[in-house]
Amino acid sequence: MKIQTEKTGTILVAVILEERFDATCAPDYIVAVKEWIENGNVQIILDLGHVDFIDSTALGAIIKSFKWFRQAEVGTGELALCQINNKIMSLLKLTRMDRVFPIFSNCQEAVAAMTGPE
């Protein structure tokens, strides 16, 4: 799975560079998230702008990683999603995950929301 990462202050922006985020990619995503957390990244923006399709396994992996940020060892961690196409947004709405994840139209909005007023 191809993921490009960039730090913006304390926030890690992770861009999924795959058109399909599915069962074949989900294990690699889980490994990457564990590494990000182990390296002290507790504010992550997942940019899905290149992703055209997400299956239930990949959605489950994103949900699992979201839960890790709520666990005691991470505590105040945050995971936000941005640049989601209509097809993926429909899936999130169908599963009501649009009410769980902070979702932004672009990375700049997500960074601004996570950093708060300056």
DSSP result, 26-44: HHHHHHHHHHHHHTT--EE
Considering the domain boundaries, does residue 67 fall inside one?
yes
**Domain extent at residue 98:** 21-84+94-105
In a domain, 115, yes or no: no
Domain count, the chain: 1
DSSP percent split of the chain into helix, strand, coil, nearest 5? 40, 25, 35
| 34 domain-assigned | yes
Looking up residue 80, the CATH number of its domain turns out to be 3.30.750.24
- Quick one: tokens of 80? 């936000």
Residue 35 lies in a domain: yes
Asked whether residue 29 is domain-assigned, the answer is yes
Structural domain contains residue 101: yes
Handedness of CA 65, 25, 47, 10 (dihedral sign): positive
Give the confidence band of 72 by pLDDT, cuts at 50, 70, 90. Answer: very low
Would you say residue 28 lies in a domain? yes
Reported as a pLDDT band with limits 50, 70 and 90, residue 67 is confident
Which pTM value belongs to this model? 0.91
**How large a percentage of the chain has pLDDT more than 70?**
93
- Bridge partners (DSSP) of residue 11 are 8
In a domain, 40, yes or no: yes
Give the ranges where the chain is alpha helix by DSSP (H).
Answer: 26-38, 56-68, 86-94, 107-115
- Rounded to whole angstroms, the Cα distance separating 84 from 52 reads 9
pLDDT tens-place string over residues 19-58: 999 999 999 999 999 999 889 888 999 999 999 999 999 9
